Amino acid sequence: MEVLVDTNILLRCADPAHRMHEGAVEAVRVLRRRGDRPCVAAQNLIEFRAVCTRPRDANGLGMSQDQAGEEIARLKVLFHVLVDFPAILSIWERLVSSYTAVGKQNHDARIVAAMLAHEVHTVLTFNKEDFIRYPEIAVITPQDLAAGPGPSRP
């Protein structure tokens, strides 16, 4: 089964000094060990780059353009990338209307739209509350994976 890896997991994996680094890395390892296929949406890569290139004192990773590019190239090798295509826009429009997404919630809705367009039904994230509004998908955290078997598909 494909499992989308949220941007916050990717960021923690890329930052060895972060207190959640090991949990993020281990969660991806667990997915692979249990036979799942971790994937990312184009939106995740866009969000990842935005945070990577932001200064550390502004809650970023302080990477240069080249460093961020290298990290994204590495992610594209490590994870299956769900490419954008036109249907994602109409799914996103339905989601933001149905679930009243506001502000940053629009970014998460776009990730869910890509998941649904690609028939991916589970997301791995540190921020469960960002996705629980969408009953079409299952939401798991690294803590859930550490506790035992994952959820069944919705």
**Per the domain annotation, does 12 fall within a domain?**
yes
117, 136 Cβ separation under 8 angstroms: no
With CA atoms as reference, report the closest residue to 128 among 113, 116, 144: 144
pLDDT per residue as tens digits for the range 60-84: 999 999 999 999 999 999 999 999 9
Mutual angle of helices 42-52 and 105-117, in 10-degree steps: 150
**Per the domain annotation, does 65 fall within a domain?**
yes
Q: Spell out the residues 6+ positions from residue 131 whose beta carbon is closer than 8 angstroms to its own.
A: 6, 108, 112, 123, 125, 137, 139
**Per the domain annotation, does 28 fall within a domain?**
yes
**Per the domain annotation, does 140 fall within a domain?**
yes
Average pLDDT over residues 97-107: 94
Q: What CATH number has the domain bearing residue 17?
A: 3.40.50
32-to-5, 89, 109, 113, 145 alpha-carbon distances in Å: 12, 30, 25, 24, 12
- Structurally, the chain folds into a number of domains equal to 1
**Per the domain annotation, does 154 fall within a domain?**
no
Write down the pLDDT at residue 147. Answer: 83
pLDDT per residue as tens digits for the range 39-58: 999 999 999 999 999 999 99
Which residue has better confidence, 146 or 122?
122
Q: Spell out the residues 6+ positions from residue 93 whose beta carbon is closer than 8 angstroms to its own.
A: none
pLDDT at 150 over 60: no
pLDDT at 145 over 90: yes
**Per the domain annotation, does 39 fall within a domain?**
yes
**Per the domain annotation, does 109 fall within a domain?**
no
Burial string for 98-120 (b: 16+ CB within 10 Å, else e) reads eeebeeebebbbbbbbbbbbbeb
pLDDT per residue as tens digits for the range 3-25: 999 999 999 999 999 999 999 99
Write down the pLDDT at residue 146. Answer: 86
Parent domain of 57: 2-84+119-147
**Per the domain annotation, does 15 fall within a domain?**
yes
